[in-house]
Amino acid sequence: MINRIDSVRQHIIEKLGDIVKETKYIGDQALMLRIDRNYLRKAVDIIHNDLNAYFRTMVAVDERSLNGTFASYYIFGLDAAHLNIIVKTHTSADEPVLPSIIDIVPAADWYELEAWDLLGIKFENRKVHRFVLPDEWPEGIYPLRKDVEYTYRPKPRKVPRQPPTGQRIPIGPYHPALHEPEYFELYVEGEKVVDVEYNGFHVHRGIEKLAEAPRFNYQKIPFLAERICGICGFVHSVSYTMSVERAAKIDVPERAEYIRSIILEIERLHSHLLWIGVVCHLLGYDAGFMHTWRIREKVMVLAELLTGSRKTYGINLVGGVRKDINMDKIEAVKNTIEYIRSEFKHLSDLITSISQIVKRASGTGILSRDDARKLSVVGPVARGSGLDRDVRRDYPYAAYRDVYFKVPVYNEGDNLARLLVRIDEVFESIYILEQLIDKLPGGPIMAEKLEVPEGVIGIGNVEAPRGEVIHVTITGHGRPYRWRVRAPTYQNIPALKIMLRDAPLADAPLTIASIDPCFSCTDRIVIVDLRSNRRFKASMEQIIKAGR
């Protein structure tokens, strides 16, 4: 394995020349390069464009107590080489400024804004603005800096607001009738969308900061991580524990790795079935919605049988799992997945034979392969645009090294392609589950030795139903020094600006839903008609009905 990394390293060194100050192996998954900030743009240009690496995440860190600087870790992925490349650079503690890379790596846009908002790192040659924090948050207080206590409760500052005009009904973004707060602003000319603005983070929970609190330690954080998502929480729990285990070189028992993979695939099944049902509803096929959720209910019952809970399973720990699978449960798994295969085959054949569904999804919400590549989108969004990417195969983890599966890829880049990817993945998940159950090894389910050294970086990645989840942990004393979480929706939402532009307004709900965003649905949209300069609000249900 090291030979492969060394070969890639030599190639990178040849490309970058003497601008690399230091290289360091991070296990067999990553290679870290320390680069002076003055050469950052050159380094990421070569890695992203010449080496064709994907941008995976960025981690800004307050390292003033460690080395007197702020640091930023840019993590790229060479999928074909199964290798992460971490570019680390430092900036002054007194005036933290880094060169912006968004003209080279467009996917880095949100990350730079977040680093400015939460750590006060400025970026040259670009405008920064309030992104995650609310407008009322006081200026000059950066919550992810180590000298800001996690218990800090600021006094909100007054923000001048424009008085509302016209007749308006204020609903949200904080409102009990909304599943999750979010805000899209669509600019239209007649029935055509010409631009899109997104405003999110209305309930940013500060989970990364919370994990630094004294009441958390390495073994309590998996339960916190699982609460990041109400549908796919287990992927976060596994990503976090994997990042710590890789940093600490903890040898997780093989049986525990298989159990994690089984639960991950069960989670993928119920998530995809949920999404396919929602799409049927959006397209007016409510019988399909009800039948999909009828099938999904069997998966939820199975999850409860295996873990004790339909959701938020709570079985994962650093070093293994808390709950085993006995023979009775194995039989239940086999019976359930056979039922799902039979029922879903009949239903999916029916869904894809309904001409109204196929016509509404074909040619709408298009994301080209080139744009998908520039934005480094993940999951079914990437695979629906012709990018053959899947973390389970490209960066193997848990028990995925021991199973065979296909990665469905469609080149059309439209809503239908993303629907077909998920339908195919339901069958692939069933196939993976069959193999995992047949090969489930014996042995312990928890590692014997659990020691986590300080000052080590680890990367955990899981192919979630929506795409890659990636957690980065820099270890500290008893708990992470820095824990960075990147969910797939964070990587995919910027693509909506391209997918919605110049498309009919009636297709907007399906296109937004097609990325399977990590909020329950899009409840509120502001529409701006550029011809009449009229602004009005419409519920998602109104637009859905108009499009039927």
| Residue 447 Cα distances to 218, 239, 261, 322, 450, angstroms | 14, 17, 17, 11, 7
Q: Are strands 122-124 and 97-99 parallel, antiparallel or unpaired?
A: parallel
Please name the residue that has the structure tokens 């108009």. 546
H/E stretch holding 405 reads: none
Instruction: Identify any residues that bridge with 468 across adjacent strands, giving them in sequence order.
Output: 463
Instruction: Identify any residues that bridge with 447 across adjacent strands, giving them in sequence order.
Output: none
The two structure tokens encoding residue 211: 């994990």
* Residue 485 annotated as lining a ligand binding site: yes
Whole-angstrom distance, CA of residue 380 vs CA of residue 517: 12
Percent of the chain that is helix, strand, coil (3-state, to 5)? 45, 20, 40
* Residue 20 annotated as lining a ligand binding site: no
Structure letter (DSSP) for residue 236: H
Whole-angstrom distance, CA of residue 489 vs CA of residue 510: 16
Q: Contact at 8 Å (CB) between 315 and 445? A: no
Angle CA(28)–CA(34)–CA(38) in degrees, nearest 5?
150
Whole-angstrom distance, CA of residue 350 vs CA of residue 371: 32
Q: Contact at 8 Å (CB) between 99 and 125? A: yes
Nearest Cα residue to 493 out of 519, 473, 475? 519
Burial readout 304-330 (b: 16 or more C-beta within 10 A, e: otherwise): eebbeeebebbbbbbbbbbeebeeebe
* Residue 280 annotated as lining a ligand binding site: no
Nearest Cα residue to 101 out of 41, 49, 22, 141? 41
Report helix, strand or coil for 239: helix
Whole-angstrom distance, CA of residue 336 vs CA of residue 347: 16
Contacts of 100 (CB under 8 A, 6+ apart): 108, 112, 123, 124, 125, 126
Torsion on CA atoms 424, 296, 494, 43, rounded to nearest 10: -60
Whole-angstrom distance, CA of residue 156 vs CA of residue 138: 6
Structure letter (DSSP) for residue 157: P
List residues forming the annotated binding site for Ni(2+): 229, 232, 518
Binding residues for Mg(2+): 208, 485
Give binding residues as ranges: 208, 229, 232, 485, 518, 521
Residue list, annotated binding site for Fe cation: 232, 521
